[in-house]
Amino acid sequence: MAELSPQYLLDTLAPLADNQLVLAFSGGLDSMVLLHLLSLAQKQHSFSLKAVYINHGISAHANHWADFCKAQCDALGVAFAQQAVVITGQSNLEQKARIARYQALAQYVSTDKHMLLSAHHADDQIESLLLALKRGAGGAGLSGIAAKRPFAAGMLCRPLLVFSRSELEHYAVANKLSWVNDDSNSDCRFERNFIRQHLTPVIKARWPQFQQTATRSMQHIAQLQQLAEHYTRQALAQCVSDAGLLLQPLAELLPLQQDLVLRQWLADFGLNPETQWLTTLKQQVIAARPDAEPLLVLADYQLRRFANTLYVLKPIDVQTPTQTLTWQGEPELALPDDCGCLYISATKQADAIALSATRGQWVFGQLSRRFKPAGAAMSKPLKQWFKLWQVPPWQRLRVPLLLVNGELVAVAGYASSTAPELATAWLHWQR
Ligand SMILES: Nc1ncnc2c1ncn2[C@@H]1O[C@H](COP(=O)(O)OP(=O)(O)OP(=O)(O)O)[C@@H](O)[C@H]1O
């Protein structure tokens, strides 16, 4: 059984070479205990420590808590900082406060030597598990709170995770510590408080070992999750290209693995869809007829499929610029609507196309104009060339087109009516 002591802390955080510790300090029981332990540990082993209080400004007592935190740090000789964050609206306050808090704390973790410490304990683990079950979370959610994980430029550690709240309280009373009680802790409209007050006591009374056994289950799930993530990353690497997710190699994976790869790929865009949505994606987008142009929306993104590749697109990626640019020979032209930049130079660069004009109009979206690339037998509407070049339909509308005397002479990034040997300049499109 671990014993709550400065030595335990030093063992858990070792090796503390030139690390700079940042304590997320709310002034509540749990972080007060951690502050006290850290200040004692500093006497045994020198390390840099700063306590940071984030003022959410939600409670009428928030400023008073800030003063309390500062006074406690002063008394223990620990450096102190505070920062206010702005939380707007009335809904989801708990979650908004948490996101704003971690964003603010991230500023204090600016190098790989920085280690953020939070005072989460074993009761928080059970609450996290029950909340994860309630929302039907997957392996990552059911793994509970990680004892150590990368955070901002450094790490985030929770050295008190194995101790229960009552053990922390026992320590606080024995060491005559004082702490603030967040008035909102008794408000059972907040889910965590409801679990803390109504569920955990009943569970613990019936099964005193529940905390340990549930923690063990979470560790098992966490290990399986890590293993799954490792193999999923490997499989994903086989399926991604610069453009999107290649559906042919995806189809060769086991169905279960396909789901994990899709989820991991979407997670890299910050997307975490519900299972039903993923089923729709598979049925209506991935498995759509080859000539269909399926589209599914998720949060701010559009999922589209073209030429057996799946794309995640932001609204700007599918917007057709309406602006026309007059070009008078400038070597560099910034394009509207996030379409990148055009570079015109005397020497040929990679991906450059030949030009024989030095002025004209740059336009977008004029797909019915006829075009004859150098070397082609005849002219065709641009739409047909794009089809031939396998350009996804939404990208076709964002390709800069050069008109000279009303005639289409160059399609940036793809083709030009000027043969390379007749080039007087070279055009490179940086998307
Ligand atoms: N206002 C605050 N300023 C700095 N640190 C805080 C603040 N509030 C909480 N913390 C840190 O976060 C830890 C967990 O606090 P709490 O259980 O209230 O968080 P939570 O809202 O449940 O969110 P989560 O568990 O996801 O971090 C505390 O032990 C403390 O280290």
Residues 374 and 309 in one domain: no
Residues 285 and 375 in one domain: no
Q: What is the CATH number of the domain that holds 300?
A: 1.20.59.20
Share of the chain above pLDDT 90, in %: 86
Distance, in Å, from the CA atom of 63 to the CA atom of 53, rounded to the nearest integer, reads 10
Residues 354 and 295 in one domain: no
Instruction: Give the sign of the dihedral formed by CA 427, CA 357, CA 417, CA 346.
Output: negative
HEC letters along 109-148: CCCCCEEEECCCCHHHHHHHHHHHHHCCCCHHHHCCCCCE
Number of domains in the chain: 3
- pLDDT tens track for 65-103: 999 999 999 999 999 999 999 998 878 888 899 999 999
Closest residue to atom 5 of ligand 1, CA basis: 24
32 CB contacts (<8 Å, ≥6 apart)? Answer: 25, 72, 172, 177, 178, 179
- At 345, list the tokens: 């130079």
pTM value is 0.73
115, 13 contact by CB (below 8 A): yes
382, 408 contact by CB (below 8 A): yes
The yes-or-no verdict on residue 368 having pLDDT over 90 is yes
Task: Report the DSSP beta bridge partners of residue 116.
Answer: 22, 156
Is 192 touching ligand 1 by the criterion CB < 6 Å?
Answer: yes
Q: State the average pLDDT for the chain.
A: 94
Question: Which of 118, 183, 200, when mutated, tests ligand 1's pocket best, judged by the most ligand atoms within 8 Å of its CB?
Answer: 118
Instruction: Give the sign of the dihedral formed by CA 57, CA 122, CA 43, CA 45.
Output: negative
CB atoms within 10 A of CB 217: 14
Question: Which of 67, 120, 135, when mutated, tests ligand 1's pocket best, judged by the most ligand atoms within 8 Å of its CB?
Answer: 120
The yes-or-no verdict on residue 184 having pLDDT over 80 is no
Domain that holds residue 130: 6-217
Quick check: is 230 in a domain?
no
Distance 147 CA to ligand 1 centre (A): 14
Question: 60 pLDDT band (50/70/90 cuts)?
Answer: confident
Residues 165 and 268 in one domain: no
- pLDDT tens track for 393-426: 999 999 999 999 999 999 999 999 999 999 999 9
Residues 304 and 329 in one domain: no
